[in-house]
Amino acid sequence: MPKFIVFVSLILIALVSCKKDKSDEIDQSNYPADISKIISTNCAVSGCHNQQSKLAAGGLSMETWEQLFEGGSGGATVIPYRPDQSWLMYYINTDTNRGVALTPTMPFNKPPLSDADYNTLLAWITSGAPDVNGKIPFPNDPDRQKFYVSSQGCDLVTAFDTKTLLAMRCIDVGKLPSIEVPHQLKVSPDGQYWYACFVAGTVLQRFNTFDDSFAGEIEIGPGNWNTMAISSDGTKAFVVDWDDEGKVAYVDLEQMQFIQYYQGSGLFTQPHGSWLNTAFTTLYVTSQYGNYIYKVDITNPAFPDIEKVVLKPGQQPNNIQGTYDPHEIVLSPDETKYFVTCQASDEVRVMDAATDTLIAVIPVGNYPLEMAVSLTKPYLFVVCEEDPCSEPVCKGSVYVINYNDLSVIASLQSGLFEPHGIAVDDGAAVVMVSNRNVNPSGPAPHHSSDCGGRNGFMKFIDLNTLEFIPDYRPELSVDPYSVAAKVN
């Protein structure tokens, strides 16, 4: 009897062991089977991109589909629907005829992937990089908080998920074969659309924020279209042509039609920055070179009344480059004052909106350009693109100004290089800063672009601590310039 019991026990142990072994063979990666086979045997292995080794491999684990789409220290590795913008495809490519090929070739210290495996991954990403059940990463969601960054050198806009700070889509913009240089992005006040204007284009383009699909364009003619201002109800906009004899295009966003130009001999000289008050009675436009801004009464938009507001009491308007050179303008949230970045004098000038008189002069870093305002904290963020930095391979700063008492709260610059675009998401408590990094003395990019040139990168400021989020600097395609946020 004891021998029988021992025999039965051994049989049961064997059966349990077999069952466990079979369970261990079940694929837990959540990739489609053909993708899992490639990644599990070549990428998500010990010493490379598995969970245990990821810290030495760019912070990226590819063990599971979910972990792949958590990205690494350099941000997203795969962009759904865009193998041409996915770093993964660059590193497994050994044939430059297929596109960008980066070294070291992956899998590291192993033979390159076969053409069949390469094409399988290519087709998978082209179809959206779904999981085993067909779920696409970052599915369309009307409540998703996003921000958008334009890459001037590639006619590309990258959509980021604000919660994870990961790039999730890449959208081609412009309509010509040549590079049109998407200079500024703006999200409509209702969050339904985002718009792009172009330095070397003839259109204002619109895209849906729900799925980032193309939603139409307005032909506004040739121009160096630099900035735009959208009415608070989202029905009208003004687009500024930065030229010696510049102009402003007034457009209808409901009908997606051009209405008229504001132009004429000497009417606008080097107009650049623009802002609208919520009542849609006043359009502010900076004159890039000189000492004044334009204040445009649009109570009757068909017949605007334009005056010049000098930024220093007692001076006459001039267009002498190097005087103050007002670049951008922003109204305070209560619209009692407006702020003007003066890139020649390295200061922000604060004007009373009711009287157009000077309230304060706030010294900031070298070459102040773009600004962004928080609505939950009294912060005005000012990007200074050329500010010297004590760190090696660093240039530029972000000044934080209390827009109530006009004091400078902080100056941040660690890890920046030629910062330009900036936007605030109060709900996520994050400030997004794009870094152009076009100067060869800047940080060497980890990746290349499919359109040539040097990649730039993003940096993020914690709105609560006013410190940079550490150890995270996702790269972007060439010359990331403008940032616009869709918030809830």
Amino acid 266: pLDDT: 80
Domain 146-486: homologous superfamily in CATH: YVTN repeat-like/Quinoprotein amine dehydrogenase (2.130.10.10)
**């009307």: which residue's tokens?**
142
pLDDT digits (tens, 9 = 90+) for 281-328: 999 999 999 999 999 999 999 999 999 999 999 999 999 999 999 999
Amino acid 15: pLDDT: 30
Q: What is the mean pLDDT of residues 254-282?
A: 95
pLDDT digits (tens, 9 = 90+) for 435-476: 999 999 999 998 888 888 899 999 999 999 999 999 899 999
State phi, psi for 425 to the nearest 5 degrees: -115, 100
Q: pLDDT exceeding 70 applies to what percent of the chain?
A: 95
Residue 337 has pLDDT above 70, yes or no: yes
Amino acid 25: pLDDT: 56
Residue 12 has pLDDT above 60, yes or no: no
Amino acid 18: pLDDT: 30
- Lowest-pLDDT choice from 31-35, 110-114, 405-409, 479-483: 110-114
Cβ distance 248 to 262 under 8 Å? yes
Amino acid 425: pLDDT: 98
Q: What is the mean pLDDT of residues 27-52?
A: 88
Amino acid 7: pLDDT: 33
Amino acid 26: pLDDT: 74
**């292995």: which residue's tokens?**
45
Q: What is the mean pLDDT of residues 162-166?
A: 96
Amino acid 387: pLDDT: 97
Peptide bond into 104 cis (omega under 30): yes
Alpha-carbon 302 to chain mean position: 35
Q: How far apart are CA 332 and CA 403, in angstroms?
A: 7
Q: pLDDT exceeding 90 applies to what percent of the chain?
A: 83
pTM comes to 0.92
Residue 20 has pLDDT above 60, yes or no: no
Q: Where are the domains of the chain?
A: 31-126, 146-486
Q: How far apart are CA 222 and CA 236, in angstroms?
A: 20
